[in-house]
Amino acid sequence: MLNRYIFNMEIIKTTNISRRYVMGEEIIQALKDVSISVNRGEYVAFMGPSGSGKSTLMNIVGCLDTPTSGQYILNNQDVSQMTENELATVRNKEIGFVFQTFNLLPRQSSLENVALPLIYAGYNKADRIEKAMLALKGVGLENRAGHKPNELSGGQRQRVAIARALVNDPSILLADEPTGNLDTKTSYEIMDLFDQLYSKGNTIVMVTHEDDIAQYAHRIVRLRDGLVETDKINPNVKQAKELMMNLKSQD
């Protein structure tokens, strides 16, 4: 069993971050003085209804946006005031993204899709192929390396997307509604894969509006109206493997 005490180190720390958007004459206060921290090796869900601020928080944590005020420290780097180019470099190195819609290039094979972040990271072709194949093997899809997205099931496409997110060995795996386009059985399979990644020490931040999905995480941060409403350890973590076994017994 992995000793999680060795991961007792902050990898995400926001201090009084706010985010305001100006739309015409209206000012939208998407986040209001949000202070949170996530330690290396945690599995956390950001949860809340539409308009709660969870997507804005995800964009800031993922270095897709910067706060209007406050400070964000990512893996000991202050990214609060970085330029677009600086943020792009940090994203490629530190964060692996998993999206609801997979975001795979349709004309590229699974291997080529997974290898894409390595091009921007400066790896040569041989190293890209080697690392991409290892990432595909890690999600059980090495035998689909030559297949294009339209030749894969929804669950397989999401596994390819997860392999792509992990290929650069990022500090954080950031998943935005990762089961939103999947059926129940496939959702269980993807959440079981997340459980396996967590057990290997990966830091996972999942964003969802569904309480049912949030229950897979070991800690749940609930947002409402741009504020952290609650931040609690989840005492009853759902186990995807058990749910998969129950589903099979009903067939």
Indicate the SS3 state at residue 179.
Answer: coil
pLDDT tens-digit map of 137-148: 999 999 999 999
Of the CA atoms within 13 Å of residue 157, those in its CB half-sphere come to: 21
What pLDDT score was predicted for residue 8? 57
In this structure, the number of other CB atoms found within 10 A of the CB of residue 157 comes to 25
pLDDT bin (cut points 50, 70, 90) of residue 6 is very low
Q: What percent of the chain has pLDDT over 90?
A: 75
Q: Which of 107-116, 160-169, 241-250 has the lowest mean pLDDT?
A: 241-250
- Write out pLDDT tens, residues 61-86: 999 999 999 999 999 999 998 999 99
Q: Which two tokens stand for residue 105?
A: 């290039």
Domain map of the chain by residue range? 43-60+84-250
Tokens 């999401």 appear where?
158
How many Cβ atoms are within 10 Å of 182's Cβ, its own excluded? 19
Task: Tell me which DSSP letter residue 152 carries.
Answer: S
- 8 A C-beta contact, residue 250 and residue 236: no
CATH T-level assignment (fold) for domain 43-60+84-250: Rossmann fold (3.40.50)
Nearest CA-CA partner of 71 in 63, 79, 62? 79
